[in-house]
Structure 1
Amino acid sequence: MTPAVLICDDSNLARKQLARILPQQWQAAIQFAGHGADALATLKKQPIDWLFLDLNMPVMDGYQVLAELQKLQLPLQIVVVSGDIQPEAHQRVMAMGARAFLKKPVDPQQLAALLQSEVAPASERSKVVTPPWASDLQQLDPQLRDVFQEITNVAMGQAGDLLARLLQVFVKLPIPNVNLIEVSELTMALASIAPDSQTSGICQGFIGSGIAGEALLILTDSSFSDIARLLNYQGELTTAVELELLMDIANILIGAVLKGIAQQLDISFSQGHPVVLGQHAPVSELIKANAKRWRKTLTIELSYGIEGFDIHCDLLLLFTEDSLKTFRYKLAFLLDDAE
C-alpha cells in the first residue's frame, strides 16, 4: 500500500527537491504544505503516514506543529528536515515526537536508509532552459526569491550551529529576507534594524566565480555584556575588547554563511580583510560613509538571536548588481534539478 506523504516547507524549491528523491512508488501520494498551519489543516482532514517537516517557517513553525501533534496524537511518522543543525534543535524535535532529523539539503542515501526503501534514481536531466526571469531582474521573481531564501536558510543553519557550539546556547534562526533594492532603500532598511539602539558594525568584502559583494554584521551594544559572559571573559569591557568580540562573531557568522552558499552553488569565495564601520553609533551613522559604494543590490538579511540572552545580531549580504548574471545560471541548474 502506498503511504500518504505530506511535505511541509515554506520553500517551493525545498519541497520539490525532497519530493524528487522520495521512492518512485510514493510520488502519486505526495502532498505539500507551505507552513505549519497549512499542514495541520491537512492532517486534521485526512490520514497521513509520513510528515516531512521544516522548522523555520512563517505563520506556524515546525516546533509549534510538533507541539500540536503531541496533543492530537495522530498515528504518523514525523521526519524533521531543516537547515538548523544545532545539536539542541535535534534534541528538541526528537523529544517532541519526531522519528528522525535530516539536515538540508537531504542526502538521498540517508533518506533511503531511513525509509528502508531504495530511492529510485533521478530521471535523466533535461537541458537547462533559461527561466523567464533570467533576462530581466528589475524585481525579484517569486520563484527566484524562493531559491535564494532556501539556499540562505541552509547556509545560516550551518552558521547558527557553529555559534551554538561555541557559546553552548540555542540560536534562534530567522526566515531570510531577500530583496533587490536601490541604495536609498538599503539605507532605510538598515536604519530600521535597531532605530533606537547604539550599534557596532563590521564590513567584509568577498568575491569569487563572477559573484562579489559585501557582508555587513551589525551588533547592538547591549549584546556585548552577554557575549563576554558566554565567552567567559572576566575583565573590563573596554572599546578594544568589544571590538575583539565583534570580530570573533563576524568571523564565525560571515565565514560560515558564505561557505554554505558557496558549497550549494559549487563556487568558492575569497574574503577581504574586515573593516570596522563604527562602534557605539546608530546604524544610520555606520552606513553613511559606505552608501555611495552601493547602487542597486541583491540584499539578504538575517537576524540572529540567542535564547535566554539579550544578544541581537543582524547579518546582511549585499551582492553587486553585476553578480546577478552568474546567480541566474547557477540557480537555473538548481531549479532544473528540482523539476
Structure 2
Amino acid sequence: MSTRLLICDDSNMARKQVARSLPDDWDVEISFATNGQEAIEAIKAGKGDVLLLDLNMPVMDGYEVLENIVKQDLPTLTVVISGDIQPEAHQRVTSLGALDFIKKPVNKENLTEILLSYGIFTKDDLVNVASSEEVIPDVSEKVSLPKVEQIAPKAEVVKDKTAEPMVLEPDMRDCYQEIANVAMGRAGDLLARLLDVFVLLPIPNVNLIEVSELSMALSSVAANDTTSGVCQGFIGAGISGEALLILNDSSFKDIAALMNYDQEIDESAELELLMDMANTLIGACLSGVSEQLDMTFSQGHPVVLGQHRKIKDLIATNSSKWRQTLAIEISYNIENYAIKCDLLLLFTEESMRTLNNKISYLLD
C-alpha cells in the first residue's frame, strides 16, 4: 500500500527540492500544502500519513501546525525541514511531537536515513523502476518550476543597453525568497549562539525596487525611532551589491547586556556593538547565499552610514550609490527583548541576470 506523504512549505522551490530528495523508488502518494492551515486540512482528509513540514510560513507556521496536530490528535508522523537551525528551534519542534529535524537545503541521504530510522520508509516500500517513473513526473506536474527560458535571459539581452527594466516574476521571487530563507537561518543561528537567545525569524521580503523605495522596504523599522546603520559591499563571479544592517537605537541597551558589555554605553560603545552585529549577520548571511550558489563573495570594508538618525535620512545620504536593485529584506527580532534590526541585501540589476542563470542551473 502506498504511503500518503504530505510536503508542507510555502516555497514552490522548496517543495520541489524535498520531493526530489525522497528515497528512490519509494511507493508514495505525494500531496502538497503551501501553509500550515492547508496541511491540517490535508491531514484530516487522509493525505498525510507522513508530514514533511517547514517552520516559517504564512497563515499558520510550522509550530502552530505541530500544536494543532497534538491538540486535535491527528494521525501523522512529522519530520521538520527548515532553514531555522537554531538549537532552540530543534528542541521546540521535538517537544511538540516532531520525530526529527532536518536543515535546509534538504540532503537526500540524510532524509532517507531519518525515514529509515523511524520505520517510515523500509525496503518493503520499494517498487519497481517502472512504477517509480510514474510517480516522479506527477510531482513535476504538481510543483512546476519556471522553465529555464523564463529565468535565464538570452545573451543579447545582457548587451542590450536599451532593454526594458527587469521584472521579478512570481516564480523567481519564490526562488530568491527560499535562498534568502536558508541564508537567514544560518545568520540567525549564529546570532542566537552569540547572544544566547532565541531569534524570531520572518519570511524574507524580496522585491525589485528603486532607491526611492528603500525606506519603504524597511517596513519593520519603527517610523518614529532613530536608527544606526552599516553598509558593506560584496562582489563575486559577476554578482555585486551591498549589504545594509539597520539597527533601532532602542536595541543597544539590551544588546550590551546580552553581550556582557560592562563599559559605559556611549556613542563609541554603540558603534562597537553595531559593528559586532553587522559582522555577525552580514558575514553569515552572505556565506549562506554563496554556499547555495556555489560561489564565493569578497567583502569590502564596512562603512558606517550614520548613527541616531531617521531611516529615510540614513538612506538618503547614500542614495547616489543605488538605482534599481533586487532587495532582500530580513528583519531579525529577539524573543523577549526589544531588539530590532533589519538586514538588507541589495543586488545590482546586472547581478540579477547572473543570479537568474545561477538559479536556473540549480533547478535543472
| TM-score normalised by structure 1 residue count | 0.93
Q: Which residue of 1 aligns with 2:148?
A: 130
Cα distance in 1 for partners of 2:266, 2:246 equals 18
Q: Which residue of 2 aligns with 1:139?
A: 167
Cα distance in 2 for partners of 1:104, 1:27 equals 24
**Cα RMSD between the aligned structures?**
2.0
Deviation at 1:137, TM superposition (A): 6.2
Q: Which residue of 1 aligns with 2:85?
A: 85
Cα distance in 1 for partners of 2:65, 2:244 equals 33
Cα distance in 2 for partners of 1:36, 1:172 equals 18
Deviation at 1:235, TM superposition (A): 2.2
Deviation at 1:129, TM superposition (A): 6.5
| Residues 335 and 172 of structure 1: CA distance in aligned 2, closer, same or farther (over 3 Å) | same
Q: Which residue of 1 aligns with 2:352?
A: 324
Q: Which residue of 2 aligns with 1:303?
A: 331
Deviation at 1:95, TM superposition (A): 0.2
Q: Say if 2:23 and 2:108, in contact at 8 Å, map to a contact too.
A: no
Superposed CA deviations along residues 37-82 of structure 1, whole A, max 9, x for unmatched, are 1111111222521100000001110001111111111222100000
Counterpart of 2:282 in 1: which secondary structure? helix
Superposed CA deviations along residues 281-304 of structure 1, whole A, max 9, x for unmatched, are 101111111111111100000000
Deviation at 1:194, TM superposition (A): 2.3
Name whichever of 301-310 and 41-50 sits farther off.
41-50
Q: Say if 1:5 and 1:31, in contact at 8 Å, map to a contact too.
A: yes
AA in 1 matched with 2:190: L
Cα distance in 1 for partners of 2:350, 2:97 equals 46
Q: Which residue of 1 aligns with 2:310?
A: 282
| Counterpart check, 1:196 vs 2:196 | no
AA in 2 matched with 1:79: V
Counterpart of 1:236 in 2: which secondary structure? coil
> Quick one: percent identity of the two aligned structures?
59
Q: Say if 1:191 and 1:283, in contact at 8 Å, map to a contact too.
A: no
Cα distance in 1 for partners of 2:215, 2:225 equals 16
| Counterpart check, 1:228 vs 2:256 | yes
Superposed CA deviations along residues 96-137 of structure 1, whole A, max 9, x for unmatched, are 0000100001111111111124799999xxxx9633243376
Name whichever of 205-214 and 282-291 sits farther off.
282-291
| Counterpart check, 1:166 vs 2:184 | no
Q: Say if 2:293 and 2:358, in contact at 8 Å, map to a contact too.
A: yes
Cα distance in 1 for partners of 2:72, 2:220 equals 40
Cα distance in 2 for partners of 1:294, 1:215 equals 12
Q: Say if 2:3 and 2:28, in contact at 8 Å, map to a contact too.
A: no
Q: Say if 1:2 and 1:25, in contact at 8 Å, map to a contact too.
A: no
Cα distance in 1 for partners of 2:220, 2:106 equals 35
Deviation at 1:171, TM superposition (A): 0.2
1:67-82 to structure 2, matched below 5 A, reads 67-82=67-82
- The count of residues paired between Structure 1 and Structure 2 equals 332
Counterpart of 2:290 in 1: which secondary structure? helix
Cα distance in 2 for partners of 1:287, 1:242 equals 19
Deviation at 1:206, TM superposition (A): 0.3
Counterpart of 2:148 in 1: which secondary structure? coil
Q: Which residue of 2 aligns with 1:60?
A: 60
Structure 2, gaps ≥5 residues long: 117-121, 137-145, 154-163
Cα distance in 1 for partners of 2:356, 2:207 equals 15
Counterpart of 1:131 in 2: which secondary structure? helix
Q: Which residue of 2 aligns with 1:49?
A: 49
Deviation at 1:28, TM superposition (A): 5.0
- Structure 1 moving runs of 4+ over 3 Å: 24-28, 117-123, 133-137
| Counterpart check, 1:2 vs 2:2 | yes
